[in-house]
Amino acid sequence: MKNLGILLSGRGSNFEAIAANVSAGRIPDAQIVVVISNKPDAGGLETARRLGLTTLVIPSKGKEREAHDHEVVAALNKHKVDLVCLAGYMRLLSPWFVQQFPHRILNIHPSLLPAFPGLEAQEQAYAYGVRVAGCTVHFVDEELDHGAIIVQKAIPVLDSDDEHTLSARILEQEHIAYSEAINIVLSGKYEVVGRKLMMNARAR
Ligand code: GAR
């Protein structure tokens, strides 16, 4: 059984999709052991409580990045987390944090990286006039929205789209992509060569 730890800061719809897939057996042999938010009022916490999951609030406000990260890593270790899933966790991890979980931290970003890293990626893409948008699940490294890519999903931008409809359709894809990426990583059937995820590697 692999233990997933979720970090979030807001609404938590990606977390909810992962939780639904875990419950339905679509992420086999995995359980969510803790949901941690740096924001006390994150909607995702409510969802987690409703689902009977262990929740923790570790406020980041006014704390130095590494001091906060030490608290978060201690909580993840206490709950014996194997894989850390950032699900709308709007905080950059310190290099120290990343080193504690090598290739065991995933993030989802609402653009086809390396296009539009950072905040409000969907709005950036819409304003730029791209004809194809999407989302990326990637390993977390020391740089923002940067590590090796695990899964991407692309959708066309429609003439009828505005930022909101585009964001909503990207989000639908996010909810599919994240669980796919978790399954790939938990299967161990891949290798990361440079930036490239090579599938069909022997199970590790
Ligand atoms: C999602 O769109 C996610 O891709 C994005 O925040 C949203 C969280 O929604 N993350 C980033 O922009 C990270 N750079 P959710 O709380 O409903 O999952």
124: left (phi over 0), alpha (psi -120 to 50) or beta: alpha
Q: Region 133-139: what's the mean pLDDT? A: 98
Q: Looking at the structure, tell me whether residues 3 and 56 fall in a common domain.
A: yes
Residues 85 and 144 in one domain: no
Given 109, 138, 164, 175, the catalytic residue: 109
* Domain count within the chain: 2
In this structure, which amino acid lies at residue 73? V
Write down the pLDDT at residue 31: 98
Average pLDDT (145-164) is 97
Same domain, 19 and 95: yes
* Ligand 1 atom with minimal separation from the 90 CA: 13
Which one of 8, 113, 174, 179 would you pick to mutate in the ligand 1 pocket, going by the greatest count of ligand atoms within 8 A of its CB?
A: 174
Residue 121 lies in domain: 107-204
Q: What is the pLDDT of residue 200?
A: 75
Helix crossing, 163-187 with 13-23: angle to 10°? 40
21 and 70 housed in the same domain: yes
Same domain, 96 and 1: yes
For residue range 17-42, list pLDDT tens digits in order: 999 999 999 999 999 999 999 999 99
Same domain for 114 and 94: no
Which pLDDT score, from 0 to 100, does residue 66 have?
Answer: 95
Whether 116 and 91 share a structural domain? no
Exposure pattern of 5-18 as b/e (b: 16+ CB <10 Å)? bbbbbbbbbbbbbb
Q: By alpha-carbon position, which residue is closest to atom 10 of ligand 1?
A: 88
Buried b (16+ CB within 10 A) or exposed e, 57-77: ebebeeeeeeebbbbbbebbe
Give the separation between CA 10 and CA 42, rounded to whole angstroms. Answer: 4
